[in-house]
Amino acid sequence: MNYPMQRIAALFALLALGALPGCASMSGDECKLADWHTVGFEDGSRGASASAIGRHREACAEHGVAPDLQAYQSGRAEGLREFCRPATGFRLGSGGSSYAGVCPDELETDFLPAYQDGRHLYQLQSQVKAVDAQIRSKNSEMEALKQTLSEDQELVILGDKSKEERILLLKEIWDLAKRQGQLEEEILALEKDRVLRIQELENYRTEVANLY
C-alpha cells in the first residue's frame, strides 16, 4: 500500500520534536470510520508499541466498535518499516528521545547503532550545555560578589563605623577577595573544558555528517 510522502514527513517531524508514541485516543467518529490498516500504519510509523492497539480498543469500546486486529497489525508492521530506518533512529537519539525496542530484529540491526550514534551526539551537546550553565552561574556569582566587595570597601573608607565593625568588614573583604580568586580559577578551568568539549562535539558531527 502506498502512502503520501507528506504524511510520512509529518510523522518524522513529530519524532524530531520528541513526540512520544501511543498517547492519542480515538473519538467515536474515528472509531466508526477507521481504516484499521491505516491506523496501524500510522502507529508503526511513529514507533508506537504493540500495546497501542489496547488503547484504541478501550477508546472504541465506549462506542461499540472493535478494532480489526489483523488489519491493524498488518498496517503497523508496514509502518514500522518506515520508522525503523537508520536516519529515524539517529534523529530520535540526537533529540534525546527514548527507544522502546519496537523494531523487528532484522530492522533493529541497522536502526539501533544509528540510534546510539544519535544518543552520543545528544550527550555531547548536553555536556556543552551543562558547562555553559556552570559558567553562567559562576559569572553571576562573580558579579554579585564584586558588588558586595565594592560596597564593603566603600563602608570601610567612608562609613561611620566602630573599630569592631571595621574589623568585621575587613574580614569579609578578605573572604570575598579570596572567593573572587577561586571563582576566576574555576571560570578559567570551565572555559578550557568548554573548548575541549566543543571540539569533541564538532569532530563527532563531522564524523556522522554523511552517515544519516
Only one residue has cell 566587595, namely 149
Give the domains, in start order, of the chain with CATH numbers: 5-118 (no CATH), 120-208 (1.10.287)
CB 38 within 8 A of CB 74: no
pTM of the model: 0.76
| Range 122-125, long-range pairs (CB < 8 A, 24+ positions) | 122/93, 122/94, 122/95, 122/96, 124/197, 124/200, 124/201, 124/204, 125/94, 125/201
| Range 205-209, long-range pairs (CB < 8 A, 24+ positions) | 205/121, 208/90, 208/117, 208/121
Q: What angle do CA 18, 20, 23 make, to 5 degrees?
A: 145
Question: What mean pLDDT is reported for the chain?
Answer: 87
Q: What is the pLDDT of residues 142-178, one digit of tens each?
A: 999 999 999 998 888 877 778 888 889 999 999 999 9
Only one residue has cell 578559567, namely 188
Q: How confident is residue 4, by pLDDT bands cut at 50, 70 and 90?
A: very low
Among candidate residues 49, 114, 118, 106, the one with its CA nearest the CA of residue 81: 106
Only one residue has cell 520508522, namely 83
User: Alpha-carbon distance 178 to 192, whole Å?
Assistant: 22
User: For 27, which DSSP code?
Assistant: -
Sort 141 into a burial class: Cβ within 10 Å, 0-12 / 13-18 / 19+. middle
Instruction: Write the DSSP string, 110-122.
Output: HHHHHHHHHHHHH
Q: What is the pLDDT of residues 104-154, one digit of tens each?
A: 999 999 999 999 999 999 999 999 999 999 999 999 999 999 999 999 988
Q: What is the pLDDT of residues 27-42, one digit of tens each?
A: 888 898 989 999 999 9
User: Alpha-carbon distance 2 to 134, whole Å?
Assistant: 50
Among candidate residues 72, 73, 119, 79, the one with its CA nearest the CA of residue 99: 119
> Is the confidence at residue 95, as pLDDT, over 60?
yes
